[in-house]
Amino acid sequence: DRKKLHTAPVGQVFRLRPFHVLVATGGGYAGYRKYEDYKLEQLEKRGIEVPVKLASEWEVALYKSVPTRLLSRAWGRLNQVELPTWLRKPVYSLYIWTFGVNMKEAAVEDLHHYRNLSEFFRRKLKPQARPVCCVCSVISPSDGKILNFGQIKNCEVEQVKGVTYSLESFLGPRISTEELHFRQAPPGNSFQQQLVTKEGNELYHCVIYLAPGDYHCFHSPTDWTVSHRRHFPGSLMSVNPGVARWIKELFCHNERVVLSGDWKHGFFSLTAVGATNVGSIRIYFDQDLHTNSPSYSKGSYNDFSFISNNNKEGIPMRKGEHLGEFNLGSTIVLIFEAPKDFKFNLKAGQKIRFGEALGSL
């Protein structure tokens, strides 16, 4: 009466495909890096300075092997799924508790109002929750944490203290001077010098990291005109401070949208950098922009000009005006030209909210 047990050959049971190996290995390593980031954050809270330790080429390649673009698209679809009314409060309450969200600032505090996670992530604030500083020249375009700021030197920008990236790699090739209405820089000048349009000016930068619990919309940091958009499809690695300290030129690897134009002191740009689960970057006045799309390949970029025969001035933006939004959280990088007496009113690592002063003359 014994029953026969049919077994498959061992080779078939343990057959692994290269894709599965990459996902398992890369995912495991990403988890290990998350744990390392947590330990670094604990050291920083205790006031212990953490030495810079950059990732090797193989570590970066292994991290990039994780299909973060595919996973982010799947996460985006999941966020669009409408939750049953009875489930909304428990799910959102867990998120609020985990990331310290202040719902008293939200325009709609009732959690049942948000049909899905995407709507909750992109919640609007009460008008009085973020007063815009009228005195300073440049305000924070978003809530977040200041990772770095200061004057740009030798065509290198600091993403965090001690870790830099190339200005030209980040912004891409120089946009035509006719398109931005800038004077032609003398031949032979460096990329940095070509961006400076007025004698005596310098280039400055500011990096703001948006955590998952932060307000996810971003606004115009000053009065300026947007003339050009450049979209870089790329990886979607995490951009939290621990990873930014670990991977050199992290912002140059990741998908990003660069808005370029000018303000009263010359060149001005705002770059929205994508991250894991943040493949969706939306610019309100740009309906042609589609980020984290499989139709775009990594390593390329596509340009779009807002100057045309019908609109020769570009898109004017007022300080504090709604500009765009992320899904979840990410990073904003400001690179702009200003006189030498421009001063930042910041400290590295400080928390900042949309509308507060970044700097002034």
The average pLDDT across 63-78 equals 78
pLDDT of residue 22: 46
Strand runs (DSSP E) across the chain, as ranges?
138-139, 144-151, 156-160, 163-166, 201-209, 217-219, 224-232, 256-263, 266-273, 281-283, 302-305, 315-317, 322-326, 331-339, 343-344, 351-352, 357-360
Tokens for 230, please give them: 């450049």
In whole angstroms, what is the distance from residue 50 CA to residue 245 CA?
10
| Digit-coded pLDDT (tens) for 279-327 | 678 899 998 888 877 766 666 788 999 987 677 788 999 999 999 988 7
**Residue 359 backbone phi and psi in degrees, to 5:** -175, 170
Q: What's the distance, CA 289 to chain centroid?
A: 16
Q: Quick check: 186 pLDDT over 60?
A: no
Please give the residue that has the higher pLDDT: either 16 or 310.
310
Length of the chain: 361
Q: Cβ(292)–Cβ(72) under 8 Å?
A: yes
Task: Quote the DSSP letter at residue 22.
Answer: H
* Out of 29-33, 209-213, 357-361, least confident range: 29-33
**pLDDT of the residue at 258:** 95
Please confirm, yes or no, whether 214 is among the known catalytic residues. no
Report residue 261's pLDDT band, with 50, 70 and 90 as the boundaries.
very high
pLDDT at 54: 80
Task: Place 227 in a pLDDT band, splitting at 50, 70 and 90.
Answer: very high
Mean pLDDT of 62-82: 80
Q: Which position among 219, 231, 253, 265 bears the catalytic label?
A: 219
Q: What is the pLDDT of residue 226?
A: 95
Which of 72, 140, 143, 262 is catalytic? The answer is 143
Tokens of 295: 């139709």
Question: In 3D, which of 94, 73, 85, 93 has the Cα closest to residue 116?
Answer: 85
Tell me what pLDDT residue 280 has: 79
Question: What is the DSSP secondary structure assignment for residue 274, as one 8-state letter?
Answer: P
Give residue 13's pLDDT.
Answer: 44
Contact between 233 and 300 (Cβ < 8 Å): yes
193-202, 233-242, 282-291: range with lowest mean pLDDT: 233-242
Residue 19 pLDDT > 70, yes or no?
Answer: no
pLDDT(148) > 70: yes
Does the annotation mark 219 as catalytic? Answer: yes
Q: How far is residue 75's CA from residue 236's CA, in Å, rounded to a whole number?
A: 13
153 has pLDDT over 80: yes
Cα 241–chain centre separation: 12
CA dist., res. 299 & res. 252, Å (int) = 10
Residue 205's pLDDT band (boundaries 50, 70, 90)? very high
Pick from 138-142, 204-208, 279-283: least confident: 279-283
pTM recorded for the entire structure? 0.81
What is the arithmetic mean of pLDDT over 161-179? 78
What does the alpha-carbon distance between residue 177 and residue 185 come to, in Å, rounded to a whole number? 9
Contact 319, 223 (CB under 8 A): yes
Q: Coil, strand or helix: which one is 310?
A: coil
